[in-house]
Copies of this chain bind each other. A is one copy, B any other.
Amino acid sequence: MKETPTQLSLVKRVEVRFSEVDSIRAVWHGNYVKYLEDAREEWGRKYGLGYMTIFENGYYAPVYQLSMQYLQMATVNDVLLVNIVYCKTIGGKIKFQYEIRRESDDAPVLKAESLQLFTTREGEFSPCAPDFYVKWQQEHNI
């Protein structure tokens, strides 16, 4: 099996902003990309694989694929809980699964997956896992 969820997860709390809802008072669907990134950044800080760590090792990890499934609308003042889980994959990839629920009634709001690849700072895709990432995986028994 290529992708296996791991124990490396967390829940990020996000408050929906007034400016994030659209003309039918639902969170505009593009704003969820921000909420997912909020969770990813928090995850990176917690597990030592954040944006800055990657950068300082000479790489970027741009999002290569992103898919979202919208289950229920959220609205102004809703508090959303973004559950993010790191998934084990083969090679130089960073894969996450996400589930967003509304805090007040635990309603499922969104499911998503993202896949990041490594590039050098010049923008060249890195076919293999960078050394620092292999080491990070070993330290976390992945």
Contact = CB atoms under 8 A, between A and B. Distances in A.
Interface of A: 15, 17-19, 21-26, 28-30, 33-34, 37-38, 41, 45, 51, 60, 62-70, 73, 76-77, 123
B34 A17 contact: yes
Given A33-B30, A65-B67, A66-B29, A73 B17 contact: no
A17 B38 contact: yes
B76 A65 contact: no
Contacts of A38: 15, 17
Contact of A70 (B21, B29, B65, B69): B65
Contacts of A15: 38
Nearest to A50: B77
21 contacts: A15-B38, A17-B34, A17-B37, A18-B37, A18-B51, A19-B30, A22-B22, A22-B23, A24-B60, A26-B62, A29-B62, A29-B63, A29-B66, A33-B33, A51-B76, A62-B70, A65-B67, A65-B69, A65-B70, A66-B67, A73-B123
